[in-house]
Structure 1
Amino acid sequence: MPRILLIDDDADLGAPLAAYFARFELELLQALHPDEGLARLRAGGFDAAILDVMLPGMDGFALCRAIRKDSDLPVLMLTARGEVMDRIVGLELGADDYIPKPFEPRELVARVQTVLRRRVAPAAAADDARLRFEGLEIDPVTRSVWRGGQALELTGTEFELLQLLAREPGRVWSRDDILNQLRGHEAELYTRAVDIVISRLRKKLEPLDAIKTLRNAGYALALAPRPGRG
């Protein structure tokens, strides 16, 4: 059963939310303080984390930054409703998703299930062979990426976006197309999120000029496929 750590100082939130998560075969535990939460995450055994932005001592942004220093664990952030800047900052720091407060438990479960599915390695199949390009290699089975032979650490969202572009190199994907592919048609469209993840990917892929922007159209992988793919 996947284990999720909720880091939120609302002591009344954890128990009812854990009971609800259990209905979907998800184990939810709670840490009331960011230091406690960070220690528990570093000890291992969790499949995702949910961070409240407003935390005592260390806000959710600082906590997300600390997690991203040594882990690509899926991170969801709980933000104040209408605070678009919170969402932008969280995504820039490497959060995989966000959900505004107050939230419906079913929506939070759905978001968690989505990021967990991204972590599950697909069964090996012909179309899951490594994707090879000049200077870049992607393994969908192990969800690994190498730039010039050097392994890269990508968040789940970064990997999904890179893999989407790599499946059809040269194809131009609009922001809405990307959001629908990565988060589902029922998700709230938030096109700024795509730009943020693209920006993070570009930095990690440097010095490769891997992602091309087509003004008013979208994004495409600009690398040439390498012989031996498949």
Structure 2
Amino acid sequence: MTRILIAEDDIEIAQLERDYLEMQGYQVDVVADGALVEEQIRTENYNLLLLDVMLPNKTGYDICRDLRNQVDFPILMVTSKQETMDVVRGLGLGADDYISKPFDPMELVARVKAHLTRYQRLQPTKEEKELRVGDLVIYLESWKVEKAGQPIKLPNREFELLAHLAQHPNRVFSKDQLFETIWGYDYVGDSATVTVHINRLRDKLGADLIETVWGAGYRLNA
């Protein structure tokens, strides 16, 4: 059964999220203290984390920063903060999505389903379609990335962005084009999100892989 962890100190909101997700057949646990989230994840197997930003003892930002390179499942941040910089900060730390309170419970369920579907992993096979750029290998079906034979963990959006650029090597895309393709215009945020994810990819895969073409956008050099 798919398991979801909710990190939320507002009892009413946590119960609302839990009720709607359990109606969809998910097994849901709730943690109200930020300091307990990582311990809960280490001791149990979860498929997705709904993470409130303003938690007691440890913020959602700090939790996301510490978890992102340790776990390979979607992290959806839920918060009343709606300013663009708060969104960019959460995404920059590795969150896969950002949901602002108040929210429509069915929208939350839809986003959870979408991210779980994206994160379905298949074991690579010989027949699996691969993209190779130098010592970088991108497995399109299993959503895995290796550099020089070593696995690289990439959150959902980072993988999609990398795969899109690698499928169109040496082609320049504007930030707006990339934002529309990967996130869609109905996504909370703006094209500044693209820059955040490009920088994270450079940190993990090398600064020379994705080039900034000033005044035009970005391209992956193959």
Fold in common (TM above 0.5): yes
The equivalent residue for 2:214 is 215
How far apart are residue 180 of structure 1 and its match?
2.9
Aligned-partner Cα distance in 2 for 1:112–1:176: 25
**In the alignment, is residue 93 of structure 1 matched against residue 80 of structure 2?**
no
Q: CA RMSD in A?
A: 2.4
How far apart are residue 28 of structure 1 and its match?
3.0
Aligned-partner Cα distance in 2 for 1:183–1:23: 27
Letter in 1 for 2:216: A
How far apart are residue 162 of structure 1 and its match?
0.8
Q: Tell me: CA distance 1:109–1:216, structure 2 relative to 1, closer, same or farther (3 Å).
A: farther
How far apart are residue 77 of structure 1 and its match?
1.0
Report 1:155-194 matches (<5 A).
Answer: 155-194=155-194
Q: Tell me the TM-score normalized by structure 2.
A: 0.88
Q: For structure 1, which segment, 172-181 or 85-94, has the greater mean C-alpha deviation from structure 2 after superposition?
A: 172-181
Aligned-partner Cα distance in 1 for 2:17–2:39: 22
How far apart are residue 51 of structure 1 and its match?
1.0
The equivalent residue for 1:120 is 120
Letter in 2 for 1:179: F
Aligned-partner Cα distance in 2 for 1:192–1:120: 28
Question: Contact 1:54/1:60 (CA < 8 Å) preserved in 2?
Answer: yes
SS at match of 1:56: coil
Q: Tell me: CA distance 1:118–1:217, structure 2 relative to 1, closer, same or farther (3 Å).
A: farther
The equivalent residue for 1:77 is 77
Q: Tell me: CA distance 1:222–1:110, structure 2 relative to 1, closer, same or farther (3 Å).
A: same
Q: For structure 1, which segment, 24-33 or 150-159, has the greater mean C-alpha deviation from structure 2 after superposition?
A: 24-33
SS at match of 2:11: coil
Letter in 1 for 2:191: T
SS at match of 1:158: helix
Unaligned runs of 5+ in 2: none
Q: For structure 1, which segment, 106-115 or 20-29, has the greater mean C-alpha deviation from structure 2 after superposition?
A: 20-29
The equivalent residue for 1:26 is 26
Identity of aligned residues (%): 37
Unaligned runs of 5+ in 1: 224-230
Aligned-partner Cα distance in 2 for 1:117–1:218: 30
How far apart are residue 59 of structure 1 and its match?
0.8
The equivalent residue for 1:197 is 197
Aligned-partner Cα distance in 2 for 1:128–1:194: 28
The equivalent residue for 1:228 is none
SS at match of 2:211: strand
Q: Tell me: CA distance 1:160–1:54, structure 2 relative to 1, closer, same or farther (3 Å).
A: same
Letter in 1 for 2:211: K
Q: Tell me: CA distance 1:148–1:101, structure 2 relative to 1, closer, same or farther (3 Å).
A: same
SS at match of 1:98: strand
Q: Tell me: CA distance 1:42–1:181, structure 2 relative to 1, closer, same or farther (3 Å).
A: farther
Per-residue deviation, residues 97-124 of structure 1 (Å, max 9, x unmatched): 1111221112222222222222124798
Aligned-partner Cα distance in 2 for 1:3–1:157: 21
The equivalent residue for 1:153 is 153
Per-residue deviation, residues 110-149 of structure 1 (Å, max 9, x unmatched): 2222222221247989995111121211112332212222
Aligned-partner Cα distance in 1 for 2:208–2:10: 45
Aligned-partner Cα distance in 1 for 2:166–2:99: 28
Aligned residues: 222
Question: Contact 1:131/1:137 (CA < 8 Å) preserved in 2?
Answer: yes
Q: Tell me: CA distance 1:186–1:146, structure 2 relative to 1, closer, same or farther (3 Å).
A: same
